[in-house]
Chains A and B, each alone.
Chain A
Amino acid sequence: SYELTQPPSVSVSPGQTASITCSGDTLGDSDASWYQQKPGQSPVLVIYQDTKRPSGIPERFSGSNSGNTATLTISGTQPIDEADYYCQAWDSSGYVFGTGTRITVL
């Protein structure tokens, strides 16, 4: 089955840039989405179709997708960005979520 692999954790200082990778075979040929989930809350879509931000998502969130890797970048990371982040794509057998990355803002 198709798998999307993310680093388990990323640490970043406030105001710095955080990047989370999502690796999967020919992922660049699919649309990648990214979700933010804070403890006890439902996921929130932050990036869709590789690079687009839904209404209400701050401009500091951006995405890219090429080859086998999609990347979520948070520029000027704020303490409120501390959360778990999941990538997602569609495979011929269904939707697939990445393994998840916890961003810690130190």
Chain B
Amino acid sequence: EVQLVESGRGLVKPGESLTLSCAASGFTFRNYIMNWVRQAPGKGLEWVASISSSSSFIFYADSGRGRFTVSRDNADNSLYLHMNSLRVADTAVYYCARAMATAGTAFDYWGQGALVTVSS
């Protein structure tokens, strides 16, 4: 069974940093593009970042470019999102999601989400 489990949720102050982790199991992690998607309270889904299977290609949404860093450890089946200079507007539930092998534009498995609250 495919499982994605996020951790690292928390309450931080504006300007602080936080790292989210996503532990993957039930599939060959090293073969898949992985992604972060967030959802602010009461709002829609927003793509945050994507990383290719070998970390060769990394993409960021404008909202996080220069502040967020996505990385992965294929030996440990883990995905990470390191967030610097956090803003109140970054408050959201952050999901890790797997891109389909045969249709890389679709995300077929999602974690349960990790809540990040940025508040003074």
Binding site for B on A (CB under 8 A): 1, 30-31, 33, 35, 37, 42-45, 48-49, 52, 54, 84, 86, 88-90, 93-100
Contact = CB atoms under 8 A, between A and B. Distances in A.
A97 B106 contact: no
Contact of A45 (B37, B45, B60, B108): B108
Interface of chain B: mostly helix, strand, loop or mixed:
strand
Interface residues of B, number: 24
Contacts, number: 69
B1 interface: no
Given A94-B60, A94-B61, A45 B47 contact: no
Nearest to B49: A94
A94 B47 contact: yes
Interface in B66-120: 95, 97, 100, 103-108, 110-113
B26 interface: no
18 contacts: A30-B105, A31-B105, A31-B106, A33-B107, A37-B45, A42-B110, A43-B45, A45-B100, A48-B100, A48-B105, A48-B108, A54-B108, A88-B106, A89-B105, A93-B62, A95-B35, A96-B47, A97-B44
